[in-house]
Amino acid sequence: MKTNPKTRAAKGAPAAAEKKSSAATPAPVAATAPKPVASGLTNARVHPKTILVPHDFSKPADKALEYAKAFGRQFGAQLVLIHVLEPMVLPAELGYGFVPPPEDALPMEALREKLASVAKSIGSEVKCTSEVRIGRPWSEVVAAAKELSADLLIVATHGRTGLQHALLGSVAEKIVRHAECPVLVVRNEERDFV
């Protein structure tokens, strides 16, 4: 017994003719790319105006400074070098916490001059200032970034591992965890910034 295609379509089964027409014509493909998910950063551009660079006069810090100079030239950003002098730590059992050394023992002027000479060595094509603070390095760097409204922090890491890392922790790690702006961490083994 032959079934009428119209009857089959009415019962919910597609007609053979309908199958052929749908198989012969492919579904249209969108000509444009899908719209990105709205995240607030779809048209964002990175254009730092103030770059904070912690400097402890080490080779890794010089490497981070090279990156900072390149960013400064590229974006016309101002660099701010910061050095943090950490006070002595006495055991808590003795009833002491952080105790700064006596004022005459602090080589503050010498540190300021040394950091200022590092800032001068950058040259005139990038504006650079410097400041020396007393406190916990990671905490002071994060506070300075907030106070200066820094757009970017460029930090060196000394690459300590094992027991040394466990005892001293990583200043760079704490800065990354607590900073309110983007942080670029430069390892000493990192290739030179061209």
pLDDT of residue 2: 58
Reported as a single tens digit per residue, the pLDDT across 121-169 is 998 889 999 999 999 999 999 999 999 999 999 999 876 555 554 444 5
Predicted confidence pLDDT, tens digits, the chain (194 residues): 555 555 555 555 554 444 454 455 555 544 454 444 444 445 556 789 999 999 999 898 999 999 999 999 999 999 999 999 887 766 666 665 555 555 544 578 888 999 999 999 998 889 999 999 999 999 999 999 999 999 999 999 876 555 554 444 588 889 999 999 999 999 877 666 55
The 3-state secondary structure of 115-183 reads HHHHHHHCCCCCCEEEEEEECCHHHHHHHHHHHCCCCEEEEEECCCCHHHHHHHCCHHHHHHHHCCCCE
Share the mean pLDDT of the chain: 76
Go through the domains of the chain in sequence order and give each one's CATH number. Answer: 50-187 (3.40.50.620)
Pairing of strands 88-89, 98-99: antiparallel
Global pTM reads 0.67
